[in-house]
Structure 1
Amino acid sequence: MWVEAYQKDEQLINDIKTSIFQTEGFRVWWLGQSGFLIQYLGKHLLFDPYLSDSLTKKYSSTDKPHTRISELVVNPALLDMIDVVTSSHNHTDHLDAETLLPIFEKNPTITMVIPEANRAFVVERLKCALDFPVGLNDNESIEIHPFKIYGVPAAHNVIERDEVGQLKYMGFIAEFGPYKVYHSGDTLWYDGMVEILKPFKVDIAFLPINGNKPERKVAGNLSFEEAARIGKEIEAKLVIPHHYHLFEFNTEDPENFVNKAHEYGTPYKVLRLGEKIEVI
């Protein structure tokens, strides 16, 4: 199996920059795995990018090979318009130095948002200043104009906190203008999840679908069925699936999600790699 990008590199960058002065609505591009780019009023928020082959190289000679099954969408050094970037937790496909360092170099005024519990780990991996990342916990938010970002729990596989009670795995709600989107990070369905998310009335929920299979020897996520069901229960206006079609051993057929979304009456959109959706 090999998944080609709908658009990539310079074509993708041109698509992003063509609409940078648009004042109506907002736009979203899927950059693969859990990476999504939000464009609103000429500003750009990048959720959890993984745009390298660092994990494939790292695990190439192990019993857990990370064999890539899709194209890299964009060289991170081409992303010179990023205002805010997130890392929801410390796993490399959400905190990748080979992705983030070129982005930092091209965007010297960027703000990075992380779980506060992960500050020391993030600083060590990225060799950045201790006060560079902005840390959040649940029930906290930060405003980075025009975005207001809220921290919410994620269970990967459990809700884990440090010794002072700060979350190590998080999701993020981003509010901008009249819009709200929810990026799950990596998470299972946990008690109270619907009650936390439903009041936000999100326009888009970005939800993983690759499931939780212990034989993969990695922490799991929502299944395609759970993603369709929780999208319906939180009354998201749209669900966009993620965390599939990157590694051969840890993927899912998005058509299975589509079938469940139809069954539950969950509004959805499956994006191709590098594809844009516009919300007005």
Structure 2
Amino acid sequence: MTVRVKPQPFSGSLAQRLAVKPTEGTVLYWLGQAGFILDMDGVRIVIDPYLSDSLAAKYAGTDFPHVRMMPPPIAVSDIRQVDYVLCTHAHTDHMDPGTLPGLLATNPCARLIAPRAVQAAARERSGVGDERISWVDAGERIDLSSGLSITATRSAHETIKCDEDGHHHYLGFAIQGQEATVWHSGDTVPFEGQVAEVLALAPDVALLPVNGRRAELSERGIAGNLTLQEAIELGEAAGASAVIAHHYGMFAFNTLPPERIDEVINKVQGRLLRAAVGTAYIISLSGPQTFSEARC
């Protein structure tokens, strides 16, 4: 048996769907950029939420103004019943001071899980103390409630970066439930040893960035990510049943047109999906499935 991801557009608001505690099963919702809400086995996990205009304010008047191309699909105060908030690294569109304090205040029992290498940034941007934060590094596992676990993986946001103690600045998270494992790679490019590391965790669904990278941006300090083709190849090599492409459509200077993603989706027979708002991604067991070859 493998795992299938079924996109299911929904009517009404995301806030209405999040007003009640999640039940059994696994459902994903996209928040834009690299942000997701994962309901798994009765536990609600929020990953890398960027729901403010923090970066537009920070970079106003510069060559890269970071103006949002899409509005937030939900108000921070409407994200409820949250058990855990995960941040893969300290870039503002993943660890947002305009989102985290309100989210953690609305959900006073929620814990923040963040890289050990960026403790100061996590404390400052979240507004909570260590009693509500779990620190993690690549290769470490955290056991959650209801039999869930999170294992941190290395990421290379163009490069692998460690602090003086060898703790990784950039992480991914493999979230393992009763029936499925969902891997959010964080911001990453391909690097040596990546496939073997992720393959050992047997991800069923891979949430992968597809905005790519450009030398002119890297030279200005804006690190890039996987290309769409690299994301397809990584998902296939890691044994994932499906790849959900994200990290597009937020900032005009650093995105991939959705039409380009959709062109490739038509070639891979259901194994590649494009993250979209207003859609619930239902993850369930299914029969065998093969990854059709596609080239971008």
TM-score, normalising length: structure 1: 0.90
Can you list the C-alpha shifts for 1:200-238, whole angstroms capped at 9, x where unaligned? 221210000000113233011001111111111112111
User: Within 5 Å, which residues of 2 pair with 1:73-222?
Assistant: 73-146=73-146, 147-216=148-217, 217=220, 218-222=222-226
Structure 2 gaps, min length 5: 1-8, 285-296
Can you list the C-alpha shifts for 1:102-139, whole angstroms capped at 9, x where unaligned? 11111111111111111122113334324432111111
- What residue is the counterpart of 1:64 in the other structure? 64
- What residue is the counterpart of 1:3 in the other structure? none
Alpha-carbon offset, residue 39 of structure 1: 0.7
Instruction: Identify if the C-alpha distance between structure 1 residues 193 and 269 changes in structure 2 by more than 3 Å, giving closer, same or farther.
Output: same
Q: Which amino acid aligns with 2:214?
A: K
**Aligned counterpart for 1:243 among listed residues 247, 263, 267:** 247
Q: Secondary structure at the match of 1:171?
A: strand
Asked whether the 8 Å contact 1:241–1:254 carries over to 2, the reply is no
User: CA–CA distance in 2 between the matches of 1:7 and 1:258?
Assistant: 20
Alpha-carbon offset, residue 21 of structure 1: 5.3
The structure showing larger relative contact order (alpha-carbon pairs under 8 Å, at least 6 residues apart) is 2
User: CA–CA distance in 1 between the matches of 2:47 and 2:277?
Assistant: 15
User: CA–CA distance in 2 between the matches of 1:21 and 1:221?
Assistant: 32
Structure 1 gaps, min length 5: 1-5
Alpha-carbon offset, residue 144 of structure 1: 1.6
- What residue is the counterpart of 2:17 in the other structure? 15
Is 1:229 equivalent to 2:229 in the alignment? no
Asked whether the 8 Å contact 2:104–2:126 carries over to 1, the reply is no
Detail structure 1 runs of 4+ shifted over 6 Å in the superposition. Answer: none
Is 1:256 equivalent to 2:257 in the alignment? no
Alpha-carbon offset, residue 41 of structure 1: 3.2
User: CA–CA distance in 1 between the matches of 2:19 and 2:39?
Assistant: 10
Instruction: Identify if the C-alpha distance between structure 1 residues 262 and 196 changes in structure 2 by more than 3 Å, giving closer, same or farther.
Output: farther
TM-score, normalising length: structure 2: 0.86
Count of matched residue pairs: 272
Asked whether the 8 Å contact 1:67–1:249 carries over to 2, the reply is no
Measured on the aligned residues, the alpha-carbon RMSD in Å equals 2.0
Q: Secondary structure at the match of 1:98?
A: coil
Q: Secondary structure at the match of 2:282?
A: strand
Can you list the C-alpha shifts for 1:156-194, whole angstroms capped at 9, x where unaligned? 121111111110110010111121010011111111111
- What residue is the counterpart of 2:291 in the other structure? none
